[in-house]
A and B are shown apart, each in its own frame.
Chain A
Amino acid sequence: QQQVKQSPQSLIVQKGGISIINCAYENTAFDYFPWYQQFPGKGPALLIAIRPDVSEKKEGRFTISFNKSAKQFSLHIMDSQPGDSATYFCAALGYDYKLSFGAGTTVTVRA
């Protein structure tokens, strides 16, 4: 059973546009929510992460929005570039030392 639900499965955005990926969780024991970016043939790379006591975190063109009451969080990629074309995974970590991943979103940025 997937503990973190991620949508959409894929999205296409024009260069300069905004990509939005949503995730939802049920387990209130989760206490850390990272996002990973993965290119074909590579391991996931940590992009940005947030704790549930913060509602928003921004790093460059990447922003996480977190809604603790709704148990939802999302990644916004502003000014999307062709180099952002990758698969993005949301994840959640509790005190069981186990990252639970969403199913992934393949983002394609058209030039």
Chain B
Amino acid sequence: KAGVTQTPRYLIKTRGQQVTLSCSPISGHRSVSWYQQTPGQGLQFLFEYFSETQRNKGNFPGRFSGRQFSNSRSEMNVSTLELGDSALYLCASSLTGQPNTEAFFGQGTRLTVV
């Protein structure tokens, strides 16, 4: 069974640009969550989607957005990139997103903003 796939693995962008990251969940999983990981702030929740609906959103500015498609694949977009957006962006998938199911992470996309 294939795991969670995130593309691309690495990205280098310039301040002010925008970026789109992609996540393909484990087959059959309908919940997809996104997290930002930095050395200073640790793992922080961005948002969660289930059946194309955003059910929760973390405390990030509106420059961070996401969506989920009917096949459960998800994308997140960051507009007007800032240096502080440099981080490892992780996607996790689970069957339902609720405490009765396990969440599995992808390898992440390493975003560097210069």
Contact = CB atoms under 8 A, between A and B. Distances in A.
A49 B99 CA distance: 10
Interface of A: 30-32, 34, 36, 41-46, 49, 51, 89, 93-104
Contacts of B43: 44, 89, 99, 101, 104
Interface stretch (B12-20, B50-58, B62-70, B79-87): B50-58
Contacts of A42: 107-108
10 contacts: A42-B107, A42-B108, A43-B6, A43-B108, A44-B105, A46-B102, A51-B99, A98-B48, A98-B56, A104-B43
Nearest to B98: A95
A98 B99 contact: no
A89 B35 CA distance: 14
Nearest to A33: B99
Contacts of B55: 97
A36 B107 CA distance: 13
A49 B102 contact: yes
A43 B90 contact: yes
Contacts of A96: 56
A98 B105 contact: no
Given A44-B90, A44-B105, A46-B104, A97 B98 contact: yes
B11 to A, nearest CB: 15
Given A32-B100, A43-B105, A46-B102, A99 B35 contact: yes
Nearest to A32: B99
B61 interface: no
Nearest to A92: B99
Contacts of B104: 46
A104 B43 CA distance: 9
Contacts of A45: 105
Nearest to A49: B102
Contacts of B92: 99
